[in-house]
Structure 1
Amino acid sequence: MSEQIIIIGSGVSGLTTALTLQLLGYETAIYTEKTITDISNKNGHPEFASLFPSASIIPHSVYSNQLEKLFKRSQYIFYELRKLAFPGITINKHYELWESEPNRPDYCNWMLNFEAVSNTEIEKLPHRPVVDKLYGWSFNCIFADWSLYLPALLHTYLQNGGTIRQQKVNRETISDLPAEIIINCSSTGSPYLFDDPSNKQLVVRGHLLHKADAPLLTNSNGEIVSYNYTPKAEIYSDSKGKAADVYCYPRKDGWILGGSRQVGTLENEEWQVSEDYYEIDGIRFPKQIIDLNSRIINTFFETELSIKNELTPSVGYRYIRNKKNGLRLESETVANKKVIHNYGHGGAGVTLSWGCALAVTSHVNNNSADENKQTLLKEIQQ
């Protein structure tokens, strides 16, 4: 195939979509104003979500009526990549735990080795030292170690003939782009490039801390352990008083600690800021990210974490678009070009990256996503 396709946006969705199309025989070019490798101060670009992924392959904070099939296809590709020893893909024993009984999300049915927790073995679960009852589950979870996975993804794209052109695209220049098919992966830039049928453009602001050179956290079976932990609301809650979670995701380059989920809009970036905060390098973040994680890590892993450690804070946005059907994965005609939208992934940009890329490809070649998946796997295995 010689037909050129232009992808707008160089985050994980744009890069994965471009690589998928490139491997399926299309000539692709990514158009982007900035790339991840160019940015030295990532806190100056909170809208560039691919600078800040925790990269757990779990469909958190995303809304779509296609979620199950997109997730399952994406999860399948990640597992196949792991078999091929693609850099950065690991599997953790992941816990999602609550101190009050939660509603069970649908994705629990899609995770491998899912198991409800038992309070008779609470000492085997990550927990606060004063807690004697927990709810939740564990499962095998794929993680993309970002310091390894993203460079490998970029290298694979370029190695297979893809190109990246650093050029700002705006609404007026869409018609001048030298391709008849445009894939829009511009995330928060999308409403400024194209008309969006959604009235309210929601983003979630999140705080992360990176503890470099921290050891991998493992259990007695030698499995790498990660967790999301939600205490009672009086211990940690969001601006509406709903119980909020913290987490720790160990990676080869250290721990990623979170979290916060502060909802705002693209038009009005006014965030509800907790009065209970720590500050590092001028960045304020909820103190529970350190205090709660410290108690859990010390109790369960017998490892220390404190504000006195060398911690690097970051603040990034997750673009959820809206809560009715946030992910936009559809095509339209704009300036006599076929534009396929792929944005609004919320906290699941990495998680859904391959599933969405396969869906985009179906808009291009009219094959089913599963047909494209099998062709893609053959190309990857070569």
Structure 2
Amino acid sequence: MSDKIVVIGSGVSGITTAVALQLLGYETEIITDKKPSDIAEKNAHPEFASLFPSASVIPHSVYSDRLEELFKRSQSFFYELHKYVFPGITTHKHFEVFEFKTKQPHYCNWMPNFRTIDNFPENEIPRRFNEQPLYGWLFDCIFADWSLYFPALIALYLQSGGTVRTQKLEKKDLGTLKSDVVINCSGTGAPYLFDDPSDNQLIMRGHLLHKAKAPLLTTNADEIISYNYTPQPDVYSDADGNACDVYCYPRKDGWILGGSRQVGQLNKQNDWENINEISTYTIEDIRFPQEIITLNNEILNQTYSQSIEISDDINPLVGYRYIRNRKNGLRLEKENVSGKTVYHNYGHGGAGVTLSWGCALEIAHEIAAQDPNEIQADLLYKISEIDMDKRS
């Protein structure tokens, strides 16, 4: 296949889509204004969401009328990668725990080994203190250890013959691209390159903390544990009084702790506009909600005999998740722009990693006009044939 396909953006959506097309025999080129490997100071680029993922394969904070279909396809692909021992892909026993009764989200029906916490050993359920009424569920989920998975994914793309070019594109440049097919994975930059039909361009700002060299958390059966924990609203809430959650995702290089879900907008300079600052702790001049430490510390201490303190060696991170809108935020569609066939793939909210393979397979299906199941089988076969040591 001689026609080149241009992919705009080098985040997880862009890399994954380019990998899929490259392995299917297309010649691809990623155009990006910044490469992940060239960024030394992550907090200088909060709009580059792929620098900051918790990377659990759970459809949190994403809005799409095709969510179930895309998620299940992505989830299936990740589980197959896990079988092939792709770098960084593991499974967790994940808890979602609440201090009040709440409705189960639809995705609970899509998760393996789902069950409520009622019949799970009480001493293994994440909690802040004993004799506390708790509600919620647990399930198995795929987790992408970002320090291992993302570099391996980029290496797979390059090893497969893909190329990356650094260029900051403007709208006027689109017609000059040497490709009739363009994949738009530019995230928060998309409205500046293309006309976006959504009137309400929402961003979710999230605070994360990375504590290096922290141990894995496990069940008595040695299953790795992660959790989202939501206390009563009077303990931790957003500016509107809605209960907020904290979380911990252990990985080989330590814990990723969160979180915050502050919804606002970016101005024309790509700076955060809406702020009701409730942050009261500061590390390295970055302010963040104190509950990320205080509540996680209570849970870690009570349940796992571990701790985290403001005095620990902690790396703070602040990133944006592009929601677009809360009705159908994911933009996965085709249009003609400047004589090009453009496939949009952005607006994943907090589920960029989660939906990465599902969206990539959908675009590959549109371009190749093949059955998605056949495309998945073909891709997995080609990935299995690649030397794992060279790839990682």
Does the pair score TM above 0.5?
Answer: yes
Q: Which amino acid aligns with 2:179?
A: A
Match of 2:384 in 1: 381
Q: Is residue 125 from structure 1 mapped to residue 128 from structure 2 by the alignment?
A: no
User: What SS does the aligned partner of 2:157 have?
Assistant: helix
Contact 2:246 2:260 in 1 (8 A): yes
Q: Which amino acid aligns with 2:345?
A: N
Match of 1:60 in 2: 60
Q: What fraction of aligned residue pairs are identical, expressed as a percent?
A: 59
Deviations 1:41-67 (A, max 9, x none): 110100000000000000000000111
Counterparts of 2:301 and 2:322, CA distance in 1: 34
Q: CA RMSD in A?
A: 1.2
Counterparts of 1:275 and 1:64, CA distance in 2: 30
Counterparts of 2:306 and 2:88, CA distance in 1: 24
User: What SS does the aligned partner of 1:118 have?
Assistant: helix
Deviations 1:215-266 (A, max 9, x none): 1111211111110000000000011100000000000000000000000012
Contact 2:203 2:322 in 1 (8 A): yes
Contact 2:266 2:273 in 1 (8 A): no
CA shift in 2, pair 1:23/1:120, >3 Å:
closer
Q: Which amino acid aligns with 2:341?
A: K
CA shift in 2, pair 1:11/1:183, >3 Å:
same
Please list every run of 5 or more consecutive structure 2 residues that lacks an aligned counterpart in the other structure.
Answer: 386-392
Contact 1:96 1:229 in 2 (8 A): yes
Query: Of the candidates 285, 291, 295, which is equivalent to residue 288 of structure 1?
Result: 291
Contact 2:56 2:142 in 1 (8 A): yes
- How far apart are 1:141 and its partner, in Å? 1.0
Counterparts of 2:85 and 2:32, CA distance in 1: 29
Counterparts of 2:121 and 2:370, CA distance in 1: 49
Contact 1:6 1:28 in 2 (8 A): yes
Counterparts of 2:313 and 2:32, CA distance in 1: 33
Counterparts of 2:44 and 2:231, CA distance in 1: 32
- How far apart are 1:103 and its partner, in Å? 1.3
Q: Is residue 13 from structure 1 mapped to residue 13 from structure 2 by the alignment?
A: yes
- How far apart are 1:130 and its partner, in Å? 4.9
Larger mean Cα displacement after TM superposition, 292-301 or 260-269: 260-269
Please list every run of 5 or more consecutive structure 1 residues that lacks an aligned counterpart in the other structure.
Answer: none
- How far apart are 1:368 and its partner, in Å? 3.2
CA shift in 2, pair 1:274/1:236, >3 Å:
farther
CA shift in 2, pair 1:276/1:165, >3 Å:
closer
Match of 1:313 in 2: 316
Contact 1:331 1:363 in 2 (8 A): no
Q: Which amino acid aligns with 1:287?
A: Q
Match of 2:29 in 1: 29
- How far apart are 1:326 and its partner, in Å? 0.3
Q: Which amino acid aligns with 1:323?
A: R
Match of 1:104 in 2: 104
Match of 2:136 in 1: 136
- How far apart are 1:377 and its partner, in Å? 2.0
After TM superposition, list the pairs within 5 Å mapping 1:280-359 onto structure 2. Answer: 280-359=283-362
Deviations 1:192-223 (A, max 9, x none): 00001101110000000000011111121111
- How far apart are 1:131 and its partner, in Å? 5.1
Match of 2:152 in 1: 152
Contact 2:8 2:186 in 1 (8 A): yes
Contact 2:279 2:287 in 1 (8 A): no
Q: Is residue 366 from structure 1 mapped to residue 355 from structure 2 by the alignment?
A: no
Counterparts of 1:207 and 1:136, CA distance in 2: 24
Counterparts of 2:245 and 2:170, CA distance in 1: 38
Counterparts of 1:276 and 1:377, CA distance in 2: 44
The TM-score with structure 2 as length reference comes to 0.95
Q: Is residue 218 from structure 1 mapped to residue 218 from structure 2 by the alignment?
A: yes
Larger mean Cα displacement after TM superposition, 357-366 or 141-150: 357-366
- How far apart are 1:122 and its partner, in Å? 2.8
- How far apart are 1:168 and its partner, in Å? 1.4
Q: Which amino acid aligns with 2:208?
A: L
Q: Which amino acid aligns with 2:377?
A: Q
Counterparts of 1:304 and 1:352, CA distance in 2: 32
- How far apart are 1:320 and its partner, in Å? 0.6
Contact 2:265 2:274 in 1 (8 A): no
Q: Which amino acid aligns with 1:222?
A: D
Contact 1:122 1:133 in 2 (8 A): no
Match of 2:204 in 1: 204
User: What SS does the aligned partner of 1:113 have?
Assistant: coil
Q: Which amino acid aligns with 1:254?
A: G
